[in-house]
Amino acid sequence: MGKMASGIAHEINNPLATIGGCAEGLLNRINKGQVDHELLNYFKIRDEEVTRCKKITTNMLSFVRRGTYEKSYVNAHEILDKTLELISLQGRLKGVSILRNYGEGVPLIQASEGDLKQVFLAVVINSLDSMDDNGTLTLETGIENNMVFIKIIDTGSGIPSELKNQRRGKRIENPFG
Amino acid sequence: MKILLADDDKNFGIVLKNELEEDKYTVDLVSDGVEAVLHFIDNTYDFVLLDIKLPKLDGTNVLQVTKKLNPEIPAITFSGHAGNIEMAESIKAGAIKCLTKPFEIAHLKEDFKRYISRVG
């Protein structure tokens, strides 16, 4: 979570840089008594960037809001998309191709949206780490044996064989370990 | 003075280009690393401004290519979310300095003026 918060904080620097640049440009034009097309354009750009900052903070807050941790019927595809949106705010998806193979007719599942986001976030960040933020990330959902499955597949290096043989490594492949 | 500016943040690129053009600099704005290299091959620039986190080819790699093509080309890199290691790598690749966003465009213009007065 700390790494994610740091990534998002840095991502806010981009819109802040633009807002700062607009303020400098507006001040220069006011000082010169220069009223031109750019003056109005800078107000428009400033509004867009303020909205961008708000989107970043809203997304961040949605991860810590208590209400989202209560169990309800939730759409797994929407939660996967929201998770990716949050990660993209950190600028980590620029070199990654995203493939969404969402199954048709996947029903709502009874779960806590907040918990699911945390799990998806941890797995996707792990995938990105293993691919050095370059490669293909596939999100796949469907129904098998009357259960919904969600697969997050990356083109990264995988778990090193020496780690797989350790006790901790074995637990990774055991869903109840 | 002709400047190559590479930043995939559309609005920041527009604002920085406008502000530099206000001071009579000529600016070519591109939005990814490959485009930056292609522009550098096809044109003659006096200065290069590169975002470190560029799509397709990152800013430090672009800088390494441009320095191979023209070792004298001065460059400043910047980033909103690059880590200290990436920023240090861009300096190692030959950037005069690496700025952290947000920075004041006025300071960047001062750097240009200082550089011009130094090289004559």
pLDDT in tens, B66-89: 999 999 999 999 988 766 788 889
Contacts of B29 (CB under 8 A, 6+ apart): B5, B6, B7, B13, B14, B17
Q: Which residues of A touch B14 (CB under 8 A)?
A: 45
Measured distance CA(A7)–CA(A60) in Å, rounded: 11
Q: Which residues of A touch B18 (CB under 8 A)?
A: 25, 38
Q: Least CA distance to A18: which residue of chain B?
A: B12
Q: Which residues of A touch B56 (CB under 8 A)?
A: 95
- B64 within 8 A of B110, measured Cβ to Cβ: no
Q: Which residues of A touch B80 (CB under 8 A)?
A: 10-11, 13-14, 17, 91
Q: What are phi and psi of A140, to 5 degrees?
A: -130, 135
Q: Which residues of B touch A38 (CB under 8 A)?
A: 18
Q: What angle do CA B45, A17, A53 make, to 5 degrees?
A: 140
Of A11, A24, A28, the CB nearest to B81: A11
Q: How far does the CA of residue B15 sit from the closest CA of chain A (Å)?
A: 6
How large is the average pLDDT for residues B1-9? 94
Identify the residue among A6, A8, A18 best suited for mutation to test binding to B, counting B beta carbons within 10 A and taking the highest: A18
How large is the average pLDDT for residues B8-28? 94
Mean pLDDT of chain B: 92
Residue A172 is encoded by which pair of tokens? 């990774």
Written as tens digits, the pLDDT of chain A (177 aa) is: 666 666 676 678 889 999 999 999 999 998 988 888 888 899 999 999 999 898 888 877 776 666 667 788 999 999 999 889 888 877 778 788 999 999 999 999 999 888 898 889 889 988 998 888 888 999 999 999 989 999 999 998 877 777 666 655 555 555 444
Look at residue A177 in the predicted model and tell me its pLDDT: 41
pLDDT at residue B105 above 90? yes
Q: How far does the CA of residue A124 sit from the closest CA of chain B (Å)?
A: 19
pLDDT at residue B50 above 90? yes
Q: How far does the CA of residue B26 sit from the closest CA of chain A (Å)?
A: 17
Residue range A49-87, pLDDT digits in tens: 999 898 888 877 776 666 667 788 999 999 999 889 888
Identify the residue among B8, B9, B11, B52 best suited for mutation to test binding to A, counting A beta carbons within 10 A and taking the highest: B11
Long-range contacts formed by A46-50: CB under 8 A, 24+ apart: A46/A18, A46/A19, A46/A22, A48/B11, A49/A15, A49/A16, A49/A18, A49/A19, A49/A22, A49/B11, A50/A15, A50/A19
Q: Verify whether the Cβ–Cβ distance B102 to A17 is below 8 Å.
A: yes
Look at residue A176 in the predicted model and tell me its pLDDT: 46
